[in-house]
Structure 1
Amino acid sequence: MPVSTGETTSVAVNGITIEMVDRGRGRPILLLHPDIGIEAAAPVLNEFARGGRVIAPSHPGFGASQLPSGMSTVDDLSYFYLDLLEQLDLTDVLVVGIGLGGWIAAEIAIKNSARLSRLVMANAVGVKIGDRETRDIVDIWSITPSELNALAYFDPKIAERDYKTLPPETSLAAARNREATARFCWSPYMHDPKLKSRLHRIKLPTLFLWGTADRILSEAYGRAYCALIPGAAFETIERAGHYPHVEQPEAFARRALAFAGDALQTAARARRA
């Protein structure tokens, strides 16, 4: 059973203890964070909690979550989350994945979508679109943090942090986030070579939300990714980059929740037909 420690909850899944935020009531919303992790104070969590019960875990190895020695791929993470959904007995779940979280969400959906109802992918990585000579995704480990922020954000000042003045646990979480990203995404770089040919298995209503100021990924990459999922829709979010949930939390949550509502209405009409 989940154990609350105030802002966050700890839950053990098959012996792996992770931290997560569990906030709000109603339809379950599984928010899968990008490489920068997720903090309990993130405004987007309260925005989503207005429309349901938002569950935002820190992936194994990120934040303060445990990382077992045998877990090394995004494929592993997807099975972990399938077990989490089963353990929490969640159904009709809206899955929202951002960046790395979008990749995890896609890996979940191609395996077993029985507990899912719809999927939102935001500035997601996970597939190779161009040929072997074309770099789809900027090499985030070959540039400085300031260069990375300039590419990732519409307003890079949002990402500025003086880790020397932050609480030790915050600095440690940031270091673990970067280390875990390297562990899961280093080779092959930011994608699963097999995922592209399996995306046709996703039958859920799917929406791609794309921060137009993202220079880690191009909009063309996002649109090509979207086209690989049958019936998926593509919408842009202005004044946001690779992390639209950070720069435009209200608009991001509103658009995702509106899509979820549309999907529910479509399903209800289908049942009445």
Structure 2
Amino acid sequence: MLSLVDSGSGTVVGRAEGEDIVLDVHTSGSGPALVLLHGAEGREANDAFIAALAERFTVIAPSHPGFGLSPRPDWCDSVEDLAYLYLEWLERQDWHDTMLVGLQFGGWVAAEMAVRDCSRLGRLTLVDPVGIKVGGREDRDISDVFAISRSELDARHYADPAAGPGDLSQASRDDVLHIARNEEALALYGWEPYLHNPRLQRWLHRIHVPTLVTWGAQDGVVSPDYGRAYADAIPGARFELVGEAGHRAQIEQPDTLAKLIAEHSA
């Protein structure tokens, strides 16, 4: 049994299987509750997007266990664990009609949550999510982000590579360690099978809340066609391309994406 309580200091503390769970949580803005699940970039990289959302919503943005400043208990090593952890969190906070927004890896987590239980959700937005397999066995649906150079990774993540972190040899030690920890966590959760759950696509029909799937038009990690297949598998989902944006559309086009989400919530 998992118990989660608000510590009153910007963190969420709980206990499961004899181990404490601590989530580093950032809350800002006012209005309807919006839970934001970040991708491999980490929450801090999305500050401009969070600020844009906070003009209309109370944005509740945790760092996943193993990312950012959130420690990871040994038992938490799968996307399924994250999905159940966050579902339990919503229940313990007694939130209803929550807007859930998942970014890339966080979009996969959000989809896994929604196929299990939509009862606490009001609307769902998935931004360039991974998590499903749409091609054949030999088709690479998702670029191997662990096997390409940093410069190529930035070119695939962003329509304008200058939007990325750039040459890490020029970055601060703390920034480099932060990126390394996030990428280590991504590898833990998404190594095998690579960044997807072979069973997820067949259960996406269980999502029964209004859903928006948005995609960077220049996404070089997962193509817009992959995004359309994702949306097609969710009943009634709307698909929107975001121009001048790559895989991390929330970083390159924060205001455009925040506006789409606000329209989706109306």
Could you state the TM-score of these two structures normalised by the residue count of structure 2? 0.93
Amino acid at match of 2:14: V
What amino acid maps onto 2:28 in structure 1?
A: R
Deviation at 1:46, TM superposition (A): 1.1
Distance 2:142 2:167 in 1: 27
1:127–1:195 CA contact under 8 A, matched in 2: yes
Determine whether 1:175 maps to 2:176.
Answer: no
The residue matched to 1:56 in structure 2 has which SS? strand
Match of 1:214 in 2: 219
Match of 1:72 in 2: 77
Alignment of 1:78-227 (within 5 A): 78-161=83-166, 163=168, 166-227=171-232
Match of 1:268 in 2: none
**How many Å separate the matches in 1 of 2:108 and 2:252?**
20
SS of 1:42's equivalent in the other structure is helix
Q: Which residue does the alignment assign to 1:2? A: 6
Unaligned runs of 5+ in 2: none
C-alpha contact 2:154 2:166 (8 A) present in aligned 1:
no
What is the CA distance between 1:253 and its match in structure 2? 0.7
Structure 2 residue aligned with 1:24: 29
SS in 2 for 1:134: coil
Q: What is the RMSD of the two structures over their aligned residues, measured on CA atoms?
A: 1.6
Corresponding position of 1:11: 12
Counterpart residue type for residue 2 of structure 1: D
Deviations 1:211-250 (A, max 9, x none): 1010111111110111000110101110111011100001
Q: Give CA deviations for 1:138-163 in whole Å, capped at 9, x if unaligned.
A: 11111011111111101101113454
Structure 2 residue identity aligned to 1:239: E
- In terms of mean alpha carbon deviation, does 85-94 or 154-163 score higher? 154-163
Q: Which residue of 2 aligns with 1:253?
A: 258
TM-score (norm. length: structure 1) = 0.90
AA aligned opposite 1:222: G
Range 184-193 or range 35-44, more displaced: 35-44
Contact 1:13 1:84 in 2 (8 A): no
- The one of 64, 68, 89 aligned to 1:63: 68
* TM-superposed deviation, 1:11: 1.4
Q: Residue 246 and residue 203 in structure 1: after superposition, are their counterparts in 2 closer, same or farther (change >3 A)?
A: same
Match of 1:229 in 2: 234
What percent identity do the matched residue pairs reach? Answer: 41
Residues 11, 166 of structure 1: alpha-carbon distance in 2 compared, 3 angstrom cutoff: farther
Q: Return the letter of the residue paired with 1:200.
A: H
Q: Which moved more, 1:166-175 or 1:187-196?
A: 166-175
How far 1:89 sits from its partner (Å)?
2.1
CA deviation profile, 1:89-136 (whole Å, cap 9, x unmatched): 221111111111111000000111111001001111000000101110
Match of 1:46 in 2: 51
1:172 maps to a residue whose letter is: L
SS class of match (1:253): helix
Residues 54-103 of structure 1 show CA distances to partners (whole Å, capped at 9, x for unaligned) of: 01111110001010111111011000101111222221111111111111
- Distance of 1:31 and 1:107 partners within structure 2: 15
Q: What is the one-letter code of the residue matched to 1:85? A: L
- The secondary structure found in structure 1 opposite 2:124 is strand
- Between the aligned partners of 1:114 and 1:21, the Cα distance in structure 2 is 24
Pairwise CA distance, 1:164: 5.3
**Distance in 2 (alpha carbons) for counterparts of 1:114 and 1:122:** 21
Distance in 2 (CA, whole Å) between partners of 1:136 and 1:69 is: 30
